[in-house]
Amino acid sequence: MKRVFKIVTIVLSVILVLYLISIPYLRSKNMVKESVFYTPTKYDESRVFNQLDEKYLTNISKDSVLITAKKFIGTRQVDSMKLNGTMIKRDFKDLLQNSKSEFYTITPSSFKNVGIFMLGNQFNVFNMLDDLTELAKKNNTKIYVITYNGNGYSEGKADFSTQFKINQKFYDYIKSSNKVDFVAGHSLGTVFATKLGVDNNIPKLALLAPASNIDDVADYFKNLAPFWARPYFNFNEIKESEFAKMGNSSENIKHYKGQLILLHGTKDTNLPFTMSEKLYNNYPNKSKTLIKIENGDHYASLTKDNWNKLIAILK
């Protein structure tokens, strides 16, 4: 019996030593890159609904979205078409050296407000046309949507550092002819929206399923893994990136002065509801609303009832 115990002890000791030795090597091979959170995604006519499917459509048909997408994807020219009582226009602008940004405007027959919507990771504007055309039409709002570098037909370096600069130039371009009443974003887009809202004192900031900061994101995903696998995750590079520095929304929100609106599902497995709670608690002013979507997933804020709540608040 003693011999068996001794053998088992030796085997376990060897396994433990091998495990500890493997950690530095596997950590070096499992460096989490920016591209995990900012993933360049070119247009693909066969996968227009690359994030959402037709079950999220309420006001326009899937065929209408596909026809719209085909029209714009089929050319790299300035173009426009009518959809759901609005005019969709695609244009291009050199907002930064060595970059060419594609952007869309969604304009109702008349407008009195102007807003910016920042897309989630790997989203394209076509995924959001149902919601954005309704927001534009019901609130008499002209909405601007930029395509991030590396996505769609936007050209240039695709990283957080570059995109933060482009977003500011995009805002400056809009502001030169229109007062911006709100900026909104979903998922990754909330990082960009928060930065824009804070830096430019935009009156309303709407965050849908937001991220709080990279430390919280890293801890969340590490905790999803078995305890023995957690040491293998290496977030060191991303924690030193512009995402971590400039995109720390839980810190940035402390300097915001306008109206904060948060919508988040309690069953969000991409970015947990606690991230919205942190942003809400960190915001020092009273002008804030947190809409808790019971049992909602990462896309719950984009469904009809919840989107209508956002429309009402942004009126």
CATH class of 34-314: alpha beta
Q: Please say whether the beta carbons of 174 and 103 come within 8 A.
A: no
Q: What pLDDT score does 243 carry?
A: 76
Q: What pLDDT score does 294 carry?
A: 98
More confidently predicted of 208 and 56: 208
87 forms beta bridges with 82, 107
Q: What is the rounded average pLDDT of the residues 12-33?
A: 59
> How far is residue 38's CA from residue 35's CA, in Å, rounded to a whole number?
5
Picking from 197, 226, 229, the residue whose alpha carbon sits closest to that of residue 210 is 197
The total number of residues shown for the chain amounts to: 315
Q: pTM for the full model?
A: 0.91
More confidently predicted of 230 and 44: 44
- What does the buried/exposed string (b/e) look like for 234-259 if buried means 16 or more CB atoms within 10 Å of the residue's CB? bbeebbebbbbebbbbbebbeebebb
Q: What is the rounded average pLDDT of the residues 63-87?
A: 96
φ, ψ of residue 76 to 5 degrees: the values are -110, 25
Q: How far apart are the first and last CA of the chain?
A: 77
Q: What is the rounded average pLDDT of the residues 55-81?
A: 94
User: Domain map of the chain by residue range?
Assistant: 1-30, 34-314
Q: Please say whether the beta carbons of 200 and 180 come within 8 A.
A: yes
φ, ψ of residue 157 to 5 degrees: the values are -60, 130
- Examine the pLDDT at 15 and tell me if it is beyond 70: no
> How far is residue 185's CA from residue 261's CA, in Å, rounded to a whole number?
11
Indicate the pLDDT class of residue 11, thresholds 50, 70 and 90: low
Q: What pLDDT score does 34 carry?
A: 76
Q: What pLDDT score does 219 carry?
A: 86
Q: What pLDDT score does 21 carry?
A: 63
Q: What pLDDT score does 244 carry?
A: 80
Mean of pLDDT over the chain: 90
Q: What pLDDT score does 49 carry?
A: 85
- Examine the pLDDT at 46 and tell me if it is beyond 90: no
Q: What pLDDT score does 154 carry?
A: 98
Q: What pLDDT score does 52 carry?
A: 80
> How far is residue 99's CA from residue 158's CA, in Å, rounded to a whole number?
10
> How far is residue 292's CA from residue 15's CA, in Å, rounded to a whole number?
46
Q: What pLDDT score does 22 carry?
A: 56
- Examine the pLDDT at 181 and tell me if it is beyond 90: yes
Number of Cβ within 10 Å of residue 64's Cβ equals 16
The pair of three-digit structure tokens given for residue 151, joined into one six-digit string? 């996505």
Q: Is 291 helix (H, G, I), strand (E, B) or coil?
A: strand
Indicate the pLDDT class of residue 2, thresholds 50, 70 and 90: low
Q: What is the rounded average pLDDT of the residues 34-58?
A: 86
List C-alpha distances in Å: 125 to 56, 74, 190, 245: 14, 15, 15, 27
Indicate the pLDDT class of residue 53, thresholds 50, 70 and 90: confident
- Examine the pLDDT at 310 and tell me if it is beyond 80: yes
Find all residues with CB under 8 Å of 84, minimum gap 6, and list them. Answer: 59, 60, 64, 129, 130, 133, 134, 137
Q: What pLDDT score does 222 carry?
A: 79
CA 84 to chain centre: 25
Q: What pLDDT score does 308 carry?
A: 97
Q: What pLDDT score does 86 carry?
A: 98
Estimate the crossing angle of helix 160-175 against helix 188-200, to 10 degrees: 50
The tens digit of pLDDT for each residue in 128-168 reads 999 999 999 999 999 999 999 999 999 999 999 999 999 99
Q: What is the rounded average pLDDT of the residues 174-193?
A: 97
Q: What is the rounded average pLDDT of the residues 31-46?
A: 84
- Examine the pLDDT at 121 and tell me if it is beyond 80: yes
For residue 65, the surrounding DSSP H or E stretch is: helix 62-73
Residue 47 has what DSSP assignment?
Answer: G
Q: Please say whether the beta carbons of 289 and 258 come within 8 A.
A: no
Helix H, strand E, coil C: the string for 158-198 is: CCHHHHHHHHHHHHHHHHCCCCCCEEEEECHHHHHHHHHHH
Q: What is the rounded average pLDDT of the residues 250-279?
A: 97
- What does the buried/exposed string (b/e) look like for 181-196 if buried means 16 or more CB atoms within 10 Å of the residue's CB? bbbbbbbbbbbbbbbb
Q: What pLDDT score does 218 carry?
A: 84
More confidently predicted of 237 and 73: 73
